[in-house]
Chain A
Amino acid sequence: MAQDNKETEESDKSRRTFLKAMGIVGIGVLAIGSLRGVIQNIIPPLSNAVSSFPTLTIVSTSGKPINTTDIQVNNPTPFLFDYPLQNEPNFLLRLGDINNKDMAIKSVKVNDPGDGNSFVSAPGVGPYNSVIASSAICQHLGCVPPKIEFYPPSSSSFPGKIHCSCHGSTYDPYTGFSIVTGPTQHPLPNTQLSYDSSSDTYKVMGMVGPTIYGHINDLSGGSALPSTSTTQVSSS
């Protein structure tokens, strides 16, 4: 009898341990199952605000298309326009030399040390091939104008630069907005323009280079622009 009791006790004990383990497994299953729902729920759904890069005519605040003469050469407060989505400013620059004479900007290969890739920069457009655009959101930690600014060429030893006063990143607009000094690890994304010589107007068509700062891809993470045919400029 005593032997029996002991055995029953032993098996009771192991049964209890087993049941406890099962209980823990059940709670674990519940935790994992509900965690999936909670986590997936708090991640906001992310869909592209627009399906592809829109082609937009750059217009002034009055809605009139911008002509070449509207864009000043080496303007230290260049036009800004939103592209491809709202709240994504881009510089519209007309680059020149130190005497404010238009300089043709050629397409070059730009290295992106941040991810080891390289891309072919957007060439200058317009009658002198001197009009160029880029994202105006610093690739280091996302500062926007007026913290990131265009400094026109002031001497032969200082060709124009784009400099961000937040943490000191500098970009060279003459060579595809490549990195001059860190701490940024990426060049500025280039905004592709096209020029219609018959009407002397500029269109923006797409982006090349790294993804715009703070975005997972260029077409998501924001609201589409109000117009599907134009984007308005403002002065920085």
Chain B
Amino acid sequence: MFKSKNKEYYPGEKPLLEKIMNDPQPVPRKVPDYMRKKGGAWYWTGAMIMIVFIYEVITGLILLLYYQPSNAYVSTETFLNSTPYGSIIISTHLYGAYAMIVLIYLHLLRNLFVGAYKRPRESQWITGVLLLVLTIAVGFFGYSMSGDVLSADATDVGRGIAQATPVIGTYLMLIFFGSGTSISLFTRMLGWHIVLAAGVGILFAVHFFIAEYNTIMPSHKDANYKAPAIDKDDGTYKPWYPYNLMYMMQYLFLVFGFLVLIPSVLAILPNVPDLFSPFPSVSPSSPLAVNVPAYPPWFLLFVYKALDFKMLLGIGPFWGTVIFAGAPLIYLLIVPYVHTNRSLLMRDNPIPVSFGILGLVYYVGLSAWGALAPGVPISDGPVLLFFVLPFVFIVGLSLFVAKLVRENKITMPNIGRLFFTLTILAFAAFGSGMLIIASVSHPVALYLIPMILLLMVTAISLAVAYAMIKGVHLRDESIEEKHMSKNGYTFAASGFIMASIIVLFEITIIPPTSPSNNALYGIGLGLILLIIGAFIRIYRASVYGE
């Protein structure tokens, strides 16, 4: 009965609240098989964010048992150095926050590019944008709680921006940063960190239920390339349990694995730049503090650099923030109401697509600029060049290419793969750029080897992208992929589990006496998590044939 009703209208015709309350839909919904196939990860960026959020809540609650607002820096350092496995909890909590923000940006860009903001998903999109803002706010307060010199600098800037708000500035400062004493400051920041994190949880639930109601954003082909894109179960969808559950578990273990592994590896590398260090910096009163640039957390570096622009000095840090963080935010909030045409194709939506790319370029560019030249005032000329040049180039090129594609003057058979390759290229190029700088300042093999490897990745992806544009087909579609035999799967799976037992043996004999020992433990734990993720993948391939 539901099915026939669903065919008559799509969600979005009636007020959302009325539909959700009076016309409940199964949660969680069944999803098409292609979401669990190769390339299906793009459909699960939201799920990955949720997994990271769960990790953050768990580690955050553990941290809450130890944190003392009256003694912020000392309690942080004690937890880090003297509490068994404390350094893993605190460094993975930090990196979880980083991962969450990166994944939100990824989720946002993906949905911008595929047109998922269009009817009937406007409210879903807006709650998503608000979740980004809330998450960054939670990140800011969390980062400021450690009481190290970086957090003191970030707090001072935040306080200055709050106080400069017209009319209510004084109250904002008092509400968010307390009455001025150190204990009031850290108590408030702990409070807001948790309150806003709870806000993320609640708003996330709203976002999730709207998403479940509106169905997943189906593939463009299934949606006939037009909004409203509604996914309809044609009766062939596999049940949620166990197929999707196992798929989600695979992601959970892989995401947790990387969350534990990456900061643990960084913890034993020497000379990790302050911006990416998994540990708090020195105390603000330490003589060493003078060597630490007054960085905000990396996800706010773009505003930080903008405040160095001479043209903004006159208007102060508040209006600078309003312009540089507020303008893109307002654009994101009005996107669903501005770009209302029904086509989901990028060629018909060159403006939002090019603004997405442009936003990424500005974000990465301003952040890198802020990291490399902290606090250096920039005169108007370079600033205008930095903003106008990419704008003209990217928007112009996007409009031009979109027009050519629309008129069928150029076709790109591998456009999806090309996009993927370009993404890898961008990250590899950025990473190798950072590593080149790192190897110049600290010429050690630890930076040199990854630099060479990443440069190779950059070169290969560049060549692949070029080949795709030129129209070289990478793979003959007629050749079918060969799967491993059932015995092969069984053999590989038991090999993985055996390996995890060996890792378990290794990590149980490491005493949790120092952060570097804990880091080794974390690497082992991360490997076990990844092994289980890989095992579930094999299990799915072997038992479900997926």
Which residues of A are at the interface with B, using a C-beta cutoff of 8 A?
39, 42-46, 86-87, 140-144, 146-147, 149, 165-168, 182-183, 185, 213-216, 220-223
Contacts and interface: CB of A to CB of B under 8 A. Distances in A.
Interface stretch (B79-87, B170-178, B249-257): B170-178
Interface in B5-55: none
Contacts, number: 85
Given A167-B308, A182-B377, A142 B156 contact: yes
A151 to B, nearest CB: 12
Contacts of B175: 42-44
Contacts of A183: 307-308, 313, 377
B182 A141 contact: no
Contacts of B184: 44
A143 B153 contact: yes
Interface string B133-171: 000000000000000010011001101100100000011
Given A166-B375, A168-B377, A183-B377, A214 B290 contact: no
B140 to A, nearest CB: 15
B294 interface: yes
B232 to A, nearest CB: 37
B437 to A, nearest CB: 20
A214 B184 CA distance: 14
Contact of A167 (B171, B174, B182, B375): B375
Given A43-B175, A141-B157, A165 B181 contact: no
Nearest to A235: B287
Contact of A146 (B163, B170, B181, B290): B290
Contact of A144 (B173, B178, B284, B287): B284
B156 A141 contact: yes
A147 B157 CA distance: 14
Contacts of A182: 313, 377
B182 A87 contact: yes
Contacts of A140: 160
B287 A146 contact: yes
A167 B293 CA distance: 9
Chain B, interface SS category: helix
Contacts of A223: 181
A78 B294 CA distance: 22
B179 interface: yes
Nearest to B155: A142
Nearest to B152: A144
Nearest to B375: A167
5 contacts: A141-B160, A144-B284, A146-B287, A167-B307, A213-B156
B171 A43 contact: yes
Contacts of B179: 44-46, 220-221
Contacts of A43: 171, 174-175
Given A168-B376, A185-B316, A143 B294 contact: yes
B281 to A, nearest CB: 12
B317 interface: yes
A143 B149 CA distance: 10
A235 to B, nearest CB: 10
A205 B202 CA distance: 52
Nearest to B160: A141
A2 to B, nearest CB: 33
A147 B316 CA distance: 21
A220 B184 CA distance: 13
B289 interface: yes
Give the interface residue-count category, chain B.
35 or more
Contacts of B293: 166
Nearest to A88: B180
Contacts of B156: 141-143, 213-214
Contact of B289 (A46, A87, A146): A146
Given A44-B188, A144-B285, 12 more contacts: A44-B184, A45-B179, A141-B294, A143-B153, A146-B290, A166-B293, A167-B307, A182-B377, A183-B307, A214-B159, A214-B180, A220-B180
B180 A165 contact: no
Interface in B310-326: 313, 316-317
Q: Of B179, B182, B287, B313, which is in contact with the most chain A CB atoms at under 10 Å from its CB?
A: B179
Contacts of A147: 149, 153, 289-290, 294
A61 to B, nearest CB: 15
Interface string B270-298: 00000000000000110101100110000
Interface string B226-258: 000000000000000000000000000000000
A231 to B, nearest CB: 17
Contacts of A166: 153, 293-294, 375
Nearest to A216: B170
B394 to A, nearest CB: 30
Contacts of B289: 146-147
Contact of B174 (A44, A144, A185, A213): A44
A222 to B, nearest CB: 5
A39 B171 CA distance: 9
Given A43-B174, A221-B179, A214 B316 contact: no
A140 B188 CA distance: 23
A42 B187 CA distance: 13
Contact of A215 (B153, B171, B180, B294): B180
A168 B375 contact: yes
Contacts of B285: 144
Contacts of B188: 44
A236 B303 CA distance: 31
A142 B160 contact: yes
B32 to A, nearest CB: 43
Nearest to A77: B287
Contacts of A141: 153, 156-157, 160, 294, 317
Nearest to A169: B375
Contacts of A45: 179
Given A43-B171, A143-B294, A146-B290, A222 B375 contact: no
A143 B294 CA distance: 9
A46 B290 contact: no
Given A43-B171, A43-B174, A45-B179, A167 B313 contact: no
A17 B285 CA distance: 64
A146 B285 CA distance: 7
Nearest to B180: A221
Contacts of A214: 156, 159-160, 163, 173, 180
A165 B178 CA distance: 27
Contacts of B377: 168, 182-183
A167 B287 contact: no
Interface in B367-408: 375-377
A92 to B, nearest CB: 17
A144 B286 CA distance: 11
A44 B177 CA distance: 10
Contact of A46 (B174, B182, B317): B174
A223 B181 CA distance: 6
A76 to B, nearest CB: 12
A118 B32 CA distance: 71
A222 B170 contact: no
Contacts of A168: 375-377
